[in-house]
Structure 1
Amino acid sequence: MDTNGARLHVTEQGEGHPVIFCHGFPHTWYMWHRQLPAVAAAGYRAIAPDLRGYGKTEVPDGPDAYTNQAVIGDLLGLLDDIGAEKAVFVGLDFGAQLVWELAWRAPERISGIIVLNNPIQPRPPKAPSELWARAAKRHFLHLDYFQKPGVADAELAADPKSFLRRVYYSLSADYHYLDTWQHPAEGTGYLDVLPAAPALPWRWFAESDLDTLAAEFDRTGFTGGLNWYRALDRNWELTADYADAKVTVPTYFMYGDRDPDMEGFSGRDPLGTMQAHVPGLREVTKISDAGHLVQLERTDEVNTLLVAHLRDLLGS
């Protein structure tokens, strides 16, 4: 699909009102492969794109091509291409940040948003990289490490399957991700801080899942995804006009009780902050025994919530 000047790969199932799933790092559309059939069976058109720099979608050069503003252009182009005025948008990780900003920039194209694990955060007073560099003086922080062009790119691409196994495990409820902060930043790579992962299958993830994801990153490498991190200062600059903006579209939020973003990256009171900045918030659900990849770790619970929220928004 050609949209916004880029070639966008999408996977879809079903017919009806569009529901567009936005993934994070290091993911592809496949992170939603268990949600698409459930949403399609409920009577909606489930669409999961490989976002810019991932999978079979084009990989533009340079971090400036990976701003939320640019990717929102892709999503709005996707809506135009399928002839839809509005969609429900679902986001996790970077996909969540994308959906929050989309709700500021184009609320007229949104029927509702469903966000997993990454609550909205106020615009910080300084560029994000300054804050991360300060934290990295105390301990390793992937947000700072990923700012160095070419460094993490080479480290992670050396063995994508091993890296993905370890990072997915570390983000799950089966490990405490913030233990990676026990390592110093100086002279440390990401693989130095990630735990060894147990053999697959896990209770929520199969060897075939890992093979599917690793095959894509074997082919593309990780630079496209890492450029999303390197574009975060530019996102900060481009959202100056939205510093006091509220999210007024109908919003649903669900999160794993062991999610590291909720614990360590979203401020002291993430739910209170979200309530203050999202007057459209309708429901918040905590999912037990789940980490960052809640849609895989607790597939049935997430799918049940997704369908219930869609019916609340759109009807059967």
Structure 2
Amino acid sequence: MTVERTQRFVTTNGVRMHLAEQGEGHPVIFCHGFPHTGYIWHRQMASVAAAGYRAIAPDLRGYGQTSAPTDLDAYTNRAVIGDLLGLLNDLEADNAVFVGVDFGAALVWELALRAPERVTGVIVLNNPFVPRAPRRPSQLWARAAQRHFLHLDYFQRPGVADAELAACPRDFLTRVYYALSGDYHYLDTWSFPAEGTGYLDVLPAAPQLPWNWLSESELVVLAAEFERTGFTGGLNWYRAIDRNWELTADYADAVVTVPTYFLYGERDTDMEGFSGHDPLATLRANVHDLRAVTSIPEAGHLVHLERTEIVNTVFLEHLADLTKTTSH
């Protein structure tokens, strides 16, 4: 039986949020990253809905059809958590399972610290929990950028990456999705110097679509949104990370206590180069109800697209455990 996917808008926390919904039952809220929209989860939504849950995938602020404020403070995790709590209120739900990847993962981790009572549990992909850094993230990135190109540092310059990426949204999306996949080694981009280098200069040419994990029609949907909006909303998430650091001073020693599941692609670049020397040990030390860690073979950063069938199977197992004491 096919469950229809619908779309609507919710006014929450001062923004007009666009979201897709599918199914009925206990809510499962999917949080995307950069450069994505809520559409990036459509394969998981169909699977989750068919299993008897209510799947919700918003375009997070700055993306897709959701409001894109101009103030950088509007892009902190604290601000977007306000959006998600307002969404829960609109759903008339006490709590939900939250799923996140990339920036959505960092968002879900902080949500679990700030409002654990609204979280049934979390399923996080590729970006493990990392304690608050001792220094501002931008300082660490600037130091690394003295040695090689680093997109995290490059994105800090207002207007620069915005113009480069908006000039060719489809080409950028194709190349960055491929570069982050298990079919390429993303850290090869570090072989380029930072000075005078743009992001497209370091990204590889991508094979022609369709790929075995991404169709032409899916890329068209994603590219159409960024062709309309540009990338500034998403880039502002990077530019707000120092502000996130400031706002989490009270959580410097906090641990995650909600039920947690972690999945990662064995070729994921965040696990290799952006999450510390031993990310799984750090995860286990700081997440006290970590129920399972699953490595997905041959997958990279977009693990839920690259290995959809196995990820969906694992998701349903985890959801059944998280909601076994609730009706769905």
TM-score of the two chains, using structure 1 as the length reference? 0.99
Counterparts of 1:38-49 in structure 2 under 5 Å? Answer: 38-49=47-58
CA distance in 2, matches of 1:260, 1:34: 23
Give the partner amino acid of 1:284: V
What is the CA deviation profile of residues 176-220 of structure 1, one whole-angstrom value per residue up to 9, with x for unaligned ones?
A: 000000000000000000000010110100111111000000000
Q: Which SS does the other structure have where 1:47 is aligned?
A: strand
Give the partner amino acid of 1:144: D
1:176 aligns with 2:208: no
What is the CA deviation profile of residues 85-117 of structure 1, one whole-angstrom value per residue up to 9, with x for unaligned ones?
A: 000000000000000000000000000000000
| Deviation at residue 122 of structure 1 after TM alignment | 1.2
> Counterpart in 1 of 2:227?
218
> Counterpart in 1 of 2:130?
121
Match of 2:266 among 254, 257, 273: 257
CA distance in 1, matches of 2:15, 2:71: 14
CA distance in 2, matches of 1:206, 1:87: 30
1:309 aligns with 2:318: yes
1:163 aligns with 2:191: no
> Counterpart in 2 of 1:76?
85
> Counterpart in 2 of 1:189?
198
CA distance in 2, matches of 1:63, 1:136: 23
Give the partner amino acid of 1:76: L
1:268 aligns with 2:287: no
Give the partner amino acid of 2:124: V
1:285 aligns with 2:294: yes
| Deviation at residue 299 of structure 1 after TM alignment | 0.2
Give the partner amino acid of 1:83: E
Q: Which SS does the other structure have where 1:8 is aligned?
A: strand
Which 5+ residue runs of structure 1 have no aligned equivalent?
A: none
Which 5+ residue runs of structure 2 have no aligned equivalent?
A: 1-9
CA distance in 2, matches of 1:178, 1:48: 30
1:8 aligns with 2:46: no
Q: Which SS does the other structure have where 1:275 is aligned?
A: helix
Give the partner amino acid of 1:65: A
Counterparts of 1:11-22 in structure 2 under 5 Å? Answer: 11-22=20-31
CA distance in 1, matches of 2:320, 2:283: 23
- Stretches of 4+ aligned residues off by more than 2 angstroms: none
Q: Which SS does the other structure have where 2:293 is aligned?
A: strand
| Deviation at residue 251 of structure 1 after TM alignment | 0.1
Match of 1:246 among 255, 259, 268: 255
Q: Which SS does the other structure have where 1:195 is aligned?
A: coil
TM-score of the two chains, using structure 2 as the length reference? 0.96
| Deviation at residue 280 of structure 1 after TM alignment | 1.2
1:98 aligns with 2:98: no
Give the partner amino acid of 1:57: T
Match of 1:50 among 54, 59, 62: 59
CA distance in 2, matches of 1:173, 1:252: 21
> Counterpart in 1 of 2:160?
151
CA distance in 2, matches of 1:38, 1:202: 21
CA distance in 1, matches of 2:145, 2:298: 29
| Deviation at residue 62 of structure 1 after TM alignment | 2.4
Instruction: State the identity %.
Output: 75
Give the partner amino acid of 2:231: F
Q: How many residues align?
A: 316
1:30 aligns with 2:39: yes
Give the partner amino acid of 2:170: K
Q: Which SS does the other structure have where 2:291 is aligned?
A: strand
Give the partner amino acid of 2:23: G
